Structure 1
Amino acid sequence: MGPSFEFAVCLLLVVNFMFMAWQLQVHGIGIGHSIGFLRFDQSPEELYPWADGLFWYSDIFFAAVFSLEILIRLVVIGRAFWCHILNWIDFLVVSASWIEFFAEALPFSPTLFLRMVRLGKLLRALRVIRLSRVLESLHLLLKCIVASLQIFFWSVVLLIIIQYCAGMTISYMLSDYMSDASRGSLQQRQEVFRYYGTFSKTALTMFEVLFANWAPACRVLVDNVSEWYSIAFILYRCCVGFAVLNVVNAVFVQSTMRVASVDEELVAAEKAKAQAAYTRRVNALFSEADTSGNGALDLEECRRLLDHPQLQLWLHMLELDTPDLVGLFHMLDDGKGEISLDDLQEGLKRMKGVAKSLDLNKLQHEVAKLHAKVDGLGIQRATQLCL
């Protein structure tokens, strides 16, 4: 399918998810009104009397549109449609949409079944994996996510080990305090137990200390047990929360980008994009320089570029100096006194950037061949003169 078709489907998916979120919002307002929650004084029927009809027609519309999309894919692709797992997911999601309509018409309400069908609609989000072939930025994001899975796994393992070791250490230190009635009041020991009473509570607290608000977990020990715990928490936050996490983030990003940078598809796409941008700049330069409009540049038009500030900037973006442009014209001119757009593009490609070792070796080889021919002609000429 073409890029325009896939992009239109992506927009429809976004609109569909917006409607689903709005429908969930209205449903939540109804729950808040039924339980008497604060500021939920009005029911959804009072706030949005037209919402039920709009949602019903929107569900019909999206189910019909996505059904039509599957039919188009079946006609265009044929049997190959069923060879891709994402197409099966699309088919099941669309089928679930129609099953939901029929289930709602039943005399009884299969609540659990309808809830699972509605959650199944979220599988449409997997379609972005297929659209990544069309949207280059999305393709890059998905490639980087896949490339980060290995480093992500070991980062999680390292952080879990650090967190568990710190949690078990502090849990052992506080066990006597929580069990000894003479160390504090019952309310104080219950408050400490709330954060550090069991291993699961301690592990959750340590993850909260590292990734969320660490002050409450520290304050409960400072106020109820000892102020010396503030030093331990500050050191833990500086060492683990700052140093270790920043190193993990740096390695995570570096490893992800290194893996993504050697991906053949991404490298080819980046080169094609850079080449297309370079070609557009050359075409714009040629159009501005060709004041005569005959589709060719003469020497005067090339010299006129020296007095044009905007074109000077374009030449700099093309990695070309003004003397190089005049020299390029003389190299490309075959005696007609003008060069075409194709000649300019090919010449700029050869002059772009610094000389490579291959270019220098090729030039040295050609000079050596020319030198041998000249020496041979000199010897032949000397032989003829001797005779």
Structure 2
Amino acid sequence: MNRSRDKNEDKKMIQVNNVREESGEHVPKVSVIIPFHNAQSHLEEMMDSVEAQTFREIEILCVSDGSEDDSIKIIRERMEKDPRIYLIEQEKHNAGVARNKGLECAVGKYVVFWDADDRFHPKALEELYHKSEQVQADICVCEVCEFRGDGKLYETGGYLQKDKLPEKDPFNKYDIPGDIFGFASNMLWNKMLRRAFIVENEITFQDIRQGNDTAFVMQAMYHAERITTVSKELAYYRMNNPGSLTSQASETWKCPFESYRYTWEQLKKQDDFALVEKSFRNKMIRGLFRSLNIQTSFAAYQELYDFLKEEGMHAVDLEDVTEDMVEEPWMYADLMRMKSMSAGDFLLCKATERMNDRDQLKYTLRRVRRRLAFLLALNEKIKRLKKKIKGKSKKSIDEEGNR
């Protein structure tokens, strides 16, 4: 198979891969799909992380989404040393189209979609693969660490919420209908998926600049019959990357809404959607308010806020949500505020809330510190008292022995 191809050769590679599969020729067990666009600043570090994986039976499909920097050069140089690496080139579209292209070319039993600016534990693929095989999973989810410019890893609990998991393993939407969309984030890079499962359910990435993984992950969670987890932090997510799509949120302010609307339109066609509708609605509310929180300019914030208020919430049936339909009080409160408040008033209200929360937290911390200081002082007094009692007891024993 030609390992480096021009963008017009995509169909040829897909055909070659199909023949390779059907012929019974040895194929990799996992396909690692890495979309990238002008990612030279972090790509070397990312590729080091992939090539250092202890699980060796993989193919590494690097999909250039119209890169114009040295990213392609970096991949070509690595291809000379590692035959598992393949380069796929396409004109500039978005990460969703690039991921679809990589998925079409993949031959592994399982696939992972890793971003070009992240890192991974050396045993990430090994752990995910063996757990997937052990329970014959459609999806396997691991925990995540975050890292910043200093390279240090920071624990975080938002990507896999173990308190929402059932005792049953593997599980599916029928086991946790209220949390099937809430137990894990919509991020892709901490998930391994069975490729045949994706193909059978015709799950693809939305052609959208930001949030193209929302529809993919949520449809996968809905259709999966066997979901499992690995309680280890195997994926390392880079925070505060100015080149990431999250950092460009104000340029793509409408994308999160479009991703949830598209997902909602796809899932509401399903027979059992009513079973998981509350879970989906809560995920969408969180996602839409988060999209407001990550805006980097007030102009974009106001534009998104006004859009959601005037037509967005109505378009996805959130206009008439009642208090019993949401998981947390703030969700209902914010939906009600949005109906009557301007963007500026809403933002001021949220800022005031957070200041009050911060003040309450400071007050609580002061109380905890005072309590801790009291307990430490009490502990020291108890230690001294025990020492004094022990000394008196020893003296009494010595006096008794001298009689």
- TM-score normalized by the length of structure 2: 0.25
- TM-score normalized by the length of structure 1: 0.25
* Bigger proportion of residues as strand: 2
Q: Which has the higher contact order (CA 8 A, sep 6+)?
A: 2
* Bigger proportion of residues as helix: 1
